[in-house]
Amino acid sequence: MAIRTRAPGASAAARARSTGAAARASGSSPAVKRARGARLRAAQQPTRLPPGIASVLSVLSSSAVVVDSNDRVLRASAAARTFGLVKGDRLMVSELAALARQVRRDGEIREGEFEVPVPRFGGRTTSFAVRVAPLGGAVGGGGLVLVLAEDQTESRRVDEVKRDFVANTSHELKTPVGALALLAETIEDAADDAEAVRRFAAKMRQEAQRLTNLVQDLITLSRIQAVEPVPDPRPVRLDMVVAEAVDRCRMKANARGITLTSVGSSGLSVLGDEDLLVTALRNLLENAVAYSPERTRVVVTTSRTSDGHAELSVADQGIGIPERDLERIFERFYRVDPARSRATGGTGLGLAIVKHVMAAHNGKVTVRSVEGAGSTFTLFVPLRSEQVGTGAA
């Protein structure tokens, strides 16, 4: 029987070739492992942004985010993290991540709007206008996408305020104009009744005065908002402001048996516009008179604060303001009691004018009120520099 044998050297060589082939087939050779590890490390290594792009992103006012081809965040502005758009190296808004992937695939710039709840701001919803664009193949090795998110919450609120203002103005103007038209028709029908004509003519004068007051308040509000702060401030003596405002309200107060009293420091002086300051204080006094019971007292107190401000307070013994309304009473046309406000001839713009007058004088207005026990409105205006730190006369 013939026995076939193999040389030892040939057998070893064959076994080595067999082992190498198996290793290559299984991908476990050292060279393959090294190549694979290099590819893995490269994939895990974050792409570096060119310094110029990083500098530009740092000065953008929008929430700016750059994501790479693996949807990893390479750069995110502080605003993007504050609003919760980015956490760690991930986009936290799934719609934004999906939009970034679409832009990466086809290279088309896309825009959209998103509502995002922001936990840091009490969970309130923030509106964002978003623009997503590719950064180009030459930047960072390609596949990078830029996400810009602009907070639209404040602009939307301003738009709503404007719409409300136009709607409220139209309504407030329509009411006296309609009343005048109706009264005019009534007078025509009652032309032979002298007593009726006199009665309706008096109501027409009342509605005409209300319309005049509303138009004047709109003009004042528009003028104050157009120029902030006061363009040509002059020295104003607060004694004169208080005296003028009290004098203008004296007739209405006397008609209801309300006593107007001014007390406190004298000789205080501020820089500003005397007419605007008189208007602000007069509005507070008129409100105090209108919302106080008959035969009560309204007190104007003038003083100085330790931080260099003059303080003008108007305190009444009126019906007070509910706590839920205190934050809104300085809005245009906002009324705690619309029926009562119209009955007293108010335009709904008085406190809005006060707020803007104080802003124009680098001051502020505050209110303290207890429902059923009266209110105190206080104006704070910076004293003239030569009066800061000195005693009042």
The tens place of each residue's pLDDT in the chain, 393 residues long, gives 333 334 444 444 445 454 444 444 445 566 655 656 555 444 444 556 666 666 777 677 778 888 888 888 888 888 888 888 888 888 888 888 888 899 988 888 998 888 877 665 555 678 888 999 988 665 555 678 889 988 887 787 777 777 777 777 777 778 788 888 888 888 888 888 888 888 888 888 888 888 887 888 788 877 777 656 787 889 999 999 999 999 999 999 999 999 999 999 989 999 999 999 999 999 999 999 999 999 999 999 999 998 899 999 999 999 899 888 888 888 887 777 665 555 555 677 889 999 999 999 999 999 999 888 899 999 999 998 877 665 544
Ranges of beta strands (E only) in the chain are 63-67, 73-76, 86-87, 90-91, 110-117, 125-134, 145-151, 234-237, 259-264, 269-272, 297-304, 309-315, 364-370, 374-382
- As a whole number of Å, the end-to-end CA separation of the chain is 139
* Residue 129 CB partners (closer than 8 Å, separation 6+): 111, 112, 113, 149, 150, 152
* 267 DSSP 8-state letter: S
Q: What is the pLDDT of residue 43?
A: 46
Neighbours of 293 (CB within 10 A): 13
Amino acid at 222: S
Residues making up the chain, counted from first to last: 393
* Residue 43, Cβ density class (10 Å: 0-12 exposed, 13-18 middle, ≥19 buried): exposed
- Contact between 384 and 270 under an 8 Å Cβ cutoff? The reply is yes
Neighbours of 328 (CB within 10 A): 12
* 150 DSSP 8-state letter: E
Sign of the torsion angle spanned by Cα atoms 13, 18, 21, 26:
negative
Residue whose entry in the numeric block shows the structure tokens 């104080």: 358
pTM above 0.95, yes or no: no
Residue 127, helix vs strand vs coil: strand
Q: Helix axis angle, 238-255 relative to 274-290, nearest 10°?
A: 30
Nearest Cα neighbor of 65 from 53, 79, 75 is 75
Nearest Cα neighbor of 278 from 230, 242, 249 is 242
Q: Which residues of 46-75 are buried (b: 16+ CB within 10 A; e: fewer)?
A: ebebeeebeeebeeeebbbbbbbeebebbb
d(CA 279, CA 300): 15
Q: What is the pLDDT of residue 271?
A: 93
Q: What is the pLDDT of residue 357?
A: 93
Sign of the torsion angle spanned by Cα atoms 183, 186, 187, 193:
negative
What are the backbone dihedrals phi and psi of residue 110, each rounded to the nearest 5 degrees, phi first?
A: -125, 150
Residue 364, helix vs strand vs coil: strand
Residue 383, helix vs strand vs coil: strand
Residues paired with 148 in a beta bridge: 64, 131
Q: What is the pLDDT of residue 2?
A: 37
Q: Which two tokens stand for residue 285?
A: 């006094």
Number of H helices, E strands in the chain: 11, 14
Q: Is residue 369 left, alpha or beta, with left meaning phi > 0 and alpha meaning psi from -120 to 50?
A: beta
